[in-house]
């Protein structure tokens, strides 16, 4: 199948493209390289350097490449920044993304897999979180993801667009080629591994007074390879099954302290630790129920043992100590 991947040079996009190509699909990428990296593309893959609302470039893509489906990952994704600058988030994640849907409608492309987020849930009502929990985002990032899910629903109703929205939990890990490199980096695992390698500062854990067994927050880490495969399973599902929204998580939670201890073991490094006050907006526990994705998409997390996640991220870190810089 020929697929347009937006955000193709980002952390998840690069691995989605890698696996699509490995599994015999053909890919055309679109990335404005705001967060993406030139080096995060498979050599020989055609990547358009443009925004998702660049009509001229979209016309060229849809005319010259005739993709049968779109995987839409391009987005702004820093929760903290979304609170201080919501305009940027509504602009990129909703307004610009609408232009992409418009072009899909115009060219008769009716299948889309959309990168949503566990951030749509806000504070969980129950753990593990099922898709039945009503969305209640607590930041503009989550709001924009929720808004786009709703847009997809109405585009299906009006224009026959078929969609699968994947609500990722905590993406982590790497392939031998592609890994996690954000500027600034705010995520737990890449920061711990950077501290392990650079030995230039303590690892700060934000709060140990949560209502969890060791007092630190619990998250659901899912290997980026498993996340990427979920997109391919979703495309397959769209061939014959209805649209839908799915959690993509491992179904098991690990505390920040457990992540820290496992990283110490795997890296063999002494990682200095500092417990600091809580970070604003962090729920104590976020763990997915992944039953629906298993039942409907046939998706299972196959690489999301914590040791495999951290080992793969560490291998990548040692190979690319400064990421793509
Ligand atoms: N943390 C630290 N120290 C750090 C960085 C993070 O203690 O230096 C802690 C956080 O406070 C949190 C945990 O590690 O308790 C995980 O934090 P991340 O920033 O790695 O990930 P989040 O769970 O905050 O965010 C992830 C995605 C978001 C998504 C959110 C949905 O990155 O895009 O899950 O729940 F919105």
Do 212 and 277 fall into the same domain? Answer: yes
Do 163 and 82 fall into the same domain? Answer: yes
Do 18 and 141 fall into the same domain? Answer: yes
**Is residue 185 domain-resident?**
yes
Do 229 and 98 fall into the same domain? Answer: yes
Do 112 and 208 fall into the same domain? Answer: no
**Is residue 295 domain-resident?**
no
Which parts of 11-53 fold into alpha helices (H)? 11-22
**Is residue 310 domain-resident?**
yes
CA-207 nearest atom, ligand 1: 7
The domain that holds 136 is classified in CATH as: 3.40.50.720
Q: Which residues line the pocket of ligand 1, CB cutoff 6 A?
A: 77, 79, 117-119, 141, 170, 186-188, 191, 204-206, 217, 219, 256, 279, 282, 286
Q: What is the pLDDT along the chain (325 residues), one digit of tens a residue?
A: 999 999 999 999 999 999 999 999 999 999 999 999 999 998 889 999 999 999 999 999 999 999 999 999 999 999 989 999 999 999 999 999 999 999 999 999 999 999 999 999 999 999 999 999 999 999 999 999 999 999 999 999 999 999 999 999 999 999 999 999 999 999 999 999 999 999 999 999 999 999 999 999 999 999 999 999 999 999 999 999 999 999 999 999 999 999 999 999 999 999 999 999 999 889 999 999 999 999 999 999 999 999 999 999 999 999 999 999 8
**Dist. CA 60 → ligand 1 center (Å):** 38
The number of folded domains in the chain is: 2
Do 39 and 106 fall into the same domain? Answer: yes
Q: Nearest-CA neighbor of 187 among 313, 40, 15, 277?
A: 313
Separation between Cα atoms, residue 238 and residue 268, nearest integer Å: 44
**Is residue 294 domain-resident?**
no
The pLDDT of residue 280: 87
Helices 97-107/55-64 angle, 10° precision = 40
Cis peptide before 63 (omega within 30 of 0): no
Do 85 and 234 fall into the same domain? Answer: yes
Q: Which domain holds residue 182?
A: 172-220+251-286+303-319
Hey, which residues are catalytic here? 141
Q: Which two tokens stand for residue 139?
A: 């930041």
The pLDDT of residue 43: 86
The domain that holds 191 is classified in CATH as: 3.90.25.10
DSSP 100-113: HHHHHHHHT--EEE
**Is residue 25 domain-resident?**
yes
Separation between Cα atoms, residue 303 and residue 217, nearest integer Å: 22
Do 98 and 209 fall into the same domain? Answer: no
Q: Which two tokens stand for residue 41?
A: 């593309």
Final residue before a domain boundary, out of 248, 265, 295: 248
Q: Nearest-CA neighbor of 282 among 183, 211, 181?
A: 211
**Is residue 293 domain-resident?**
no
Q: How many CB atoms lie within 10 A of CB 183?
A: 10
Do 122 and 200 fall into the same domain? Answer: no
**Dist. CA 30 → ligand 1 center (Å):** 27
Q: Which two tokens stand for residue 30?
A: 């679109």
Do 75 and 146 fall into the same domain? Answer: yes
Q: Which two tokens stand for residue 141?
A: 């990032």
Query: pTM of the entire structure?
Result: 0.97
Separation between Cα atoms, residue 117 and residue 248, nearest integer Å: 9
Which parts of 29-139 fold into alpha helices (H)? 55-64, 79-84, 86-90, 97-107
285-286 sheet: strands from edge to edge: 254-255, 218-219, 285-286
Separation between Cα atoms, residue 325 and residue 320, nearest integer Å: 9
Do 146 and 261 fall into the same domain? Answer: no
**Is residue 211 domain-resident?**
yes
Mutate to test the pocket of ligand 1, among 73, 120, 170 (most ligand atoms within 8 A of CB): 170
**Is residue 325 domain-resident?**
no
Q: Nearest-CA neighbor of 12 among 68, 60, 71?
A: 71
**Dist. CA 81 → ligand 1 center (Å):** 14
Do 14 and 147 fall into the same domain? Answer: yes
CA-118 nearest atom, ligand 1: 31
Q: Nearest-CA neighbor of 78 among 18, 16, 11?
A: 11
């Amino acid at each position: 199948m020929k697929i347009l991947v937006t955000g193709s040079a980002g952390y998840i996009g690069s691995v989605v493209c890698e696996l699509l190509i490995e599994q015999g699909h053909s890919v055309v990428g679109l990335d404005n390289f705001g967060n993406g990296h030139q080096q995060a593309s498979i050599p020989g893959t055609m990547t358009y350097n443009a925004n998702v609302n660049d009509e001229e470039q979209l016309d060229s893509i849809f005319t010259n490449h005739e993709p049968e489906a779109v995987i839409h990952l391009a987005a702004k994704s820093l929760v903290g920044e979304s609170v201080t600058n919501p305009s940027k988030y509504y602009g990129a994640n909703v307004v610009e993304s609408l232009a992409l849907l418009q072009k899909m409608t115009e060219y008769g492309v009716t299948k889309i897999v959309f990168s949503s987020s566990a951030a749509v849930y806000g504070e969980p009502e129950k753990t593990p979180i099922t898709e039945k929990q009503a969305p209640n985002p607590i930041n503009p990032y989550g709001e924009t993801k929720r808004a786009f899910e709703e847009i997809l629903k109405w585009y299906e109703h009006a224009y026959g667009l078929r969609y699968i929205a994947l609500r990722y939990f905590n993406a982590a890990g790497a392939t031998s080629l592609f890994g996690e490199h954000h500027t600034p980096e705010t995520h737990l695992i890449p920061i711990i591994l950077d501290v392990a390698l650079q030995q230039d500062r303590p690892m700060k854990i934000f709060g140990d007074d949560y209502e969890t067994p060791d007092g630190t927050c619990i998250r659901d880490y899912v290997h980026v390879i498993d996340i990427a495969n979920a997109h391919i399973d979703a495309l397959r599902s769209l061939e014959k099954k209805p649209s839908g929204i799915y959690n993509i998580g491992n179904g098991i939670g690990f505390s920040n302290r457990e992540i820290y201890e496992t990283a110490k073991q795997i890296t063999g490094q002494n990682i200095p630790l500092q417990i600091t006050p809580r970070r604003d907006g962090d729920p104590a526990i976020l763990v997915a129920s992944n039953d629906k994705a298993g039942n409907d998409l046939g998706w299972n997390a196959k690489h999301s043992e914590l040791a495999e996640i951290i080992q793969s991220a560490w291998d990548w870190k040692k190979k690319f100590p400064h990421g793509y810089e």
